[in-house]
Amino acid sequence: MTDPSSREDDVVDAIVETLCAAAPSIRAGLPGRRVYEEGTNPSGERQLEADTYADELLLKRLRPLDGVGEYASEERPDVIDIGEGVSVALDPLDGSTNLKPNNVMGTLYSIYDEPLPTGGENLLAAGYILYGPVTTLVAGRDGVVSEYILESGIKRPLREELTLPGDPAIFSFGGRVNRWFDDFEAFARETERTEGMKLRYGGSMIGDVNQILHYGGVFAYPAQTDAPGGKLRQQFEGFPIGYIIECAGGRSSDGEQSLLSGTPEDIHDRVPVYIGNDSLVESLETRLD
Ligand code: P6P
């Protein structure tokens, strides 16, 4: 009788390998899919042909896997039943608005041992494939996060058991400055002055978070004065990024508590996101009180 945890490991490994194997096809499909489809995704955002292409390709590749029960995507209104087992939540092409300006984007995944929507405490694994100058995988599992180079869809270790640098360098905030709560501008100026940090925002959460993993600092897509939930989705973006940054010894927050503490009512619920070096995120939280 196979030990359930080792079987779960096998399923998680199979999912990650399937996503990696699909990466060359997704990358190859980007040049010809830079135009918008009719309509919007469930969050009301316009969809590029590349968004729906990545979503359809990944569902097709994941559907045959043993041990995968549900598939959910930022691009689809509802969870899809594809068998028995774990649940996979994908942002198939996070940061796809970067396609036209040719900036980074990627596939963001999170795997749960409960039906979706579900809370962050039910995460089994999370990570992202980043389509930058090279294709990389950042994978979190069992409390550690490691980085790999992907060549022809095969992963090669780059950095094992990543930890955030102690000396933060990058400060990255999404949204509109005039819609941040007043204190954010004060926080920005103070941290740039006191920590000597550089402001750098790329418009793709996984690209911006990847910079924090490499250089230290803080990424936030804050609550906005006209959107208290912020922009990023709790199930598809908040939980995986919260898990990854906490695996790397950093801190995640929705403004009050760890991003992993919440449970969405709807699969597309949004959450404010603050992640990075512990002291910086804690300082942000105090400003939000
Ligand atoms: P804005 C991409 O669409 C995304 O979901 C995240 O990857 C990114 O952080 C954010 O939205 C960018 O939003 O408002 O800067 O375009």
In the chain, the number of structural domains is 2
Asked if residue 182 and residue 73 are part of one domain, the reply reads no
Q: Are residues 12 and 153 in the same domain?
A: yes
Residue 76 shares a structural domain with residue 148 = yes
- Cα 205 to ligand 1 centre (Å): 6
pLDDT of residue 183: 77
- Ligand 1: nearest atom to the Cα of 174: 15
User: Of all residues in the chain, what percent carry a pLDDT higher than 70?
Assistant: 99
Write the pLDDT tens digit of every residue in 81-103. Answer: 999 999 999 999 999 999 999 99
Residues 142 and 191 in one domain: no
pLDDT computed for residue 1 by the predictor: 65
Extract the runs of DSSP E, i.e. beta strands, from 165-210.
170-173, 198-199
pLDDT of residue 184: 77
Classify burial at 239, counting beta carbons within 10 Å of its beta carbon; exposed 0-12, middle 13-18, buried 19 or more.
Answer: buried
Report the candidate in 152, 145, 159, 127 with the shortest Cα–Cα distance to residue 15. Answer: 127
Which residues are paired to 139 by β-bridges? 127, 146
47 lies in some domain: yes
Q: Encode pLDDT of 162-194 as tens digits.
A: 999 999 999 999 988 777 777 777 888 888 888
Cβ proximity of 82 and 245 under 8 Å: no
Ligand 1: atom nearest CA of 206 is 7
User: Residue 272 to residues 64, 221, 238, 276, 284: CA-CA distances in angstroms?
Assistant: 35, 6, 8, 14, 12
Read off the pLDDT band of 2 (50, 70, 90): low
Among candidate residues 118, 136, 159, the one where a domain is terminated: 159
pLDDT given at position 192: 83
Residues with CB under 6 A from ligand 1: 94-95, 97, 174-175, 203-205, 221, 231-232
Q: What is the ipTM of this complex?
A: 0.96
**Ligand 1 centroid to 202 CA: how many Å?**
9
- Distance between CA atoms of residues 126 and 50, nearest Å: 22
Host domain of residue 248: 170-288
Of 98, 125, 159, the last residue of a domain is 159
Cα gap 134→194, rounded to integer Å: 34
This prediction's pTM: 0.96
How many angstroms is it from 177 CA to the middle of ligand 1?
14
Q: Is the pLDDT of residue 210 over 80?
A: yes
Residue 165 lies in a domain: no
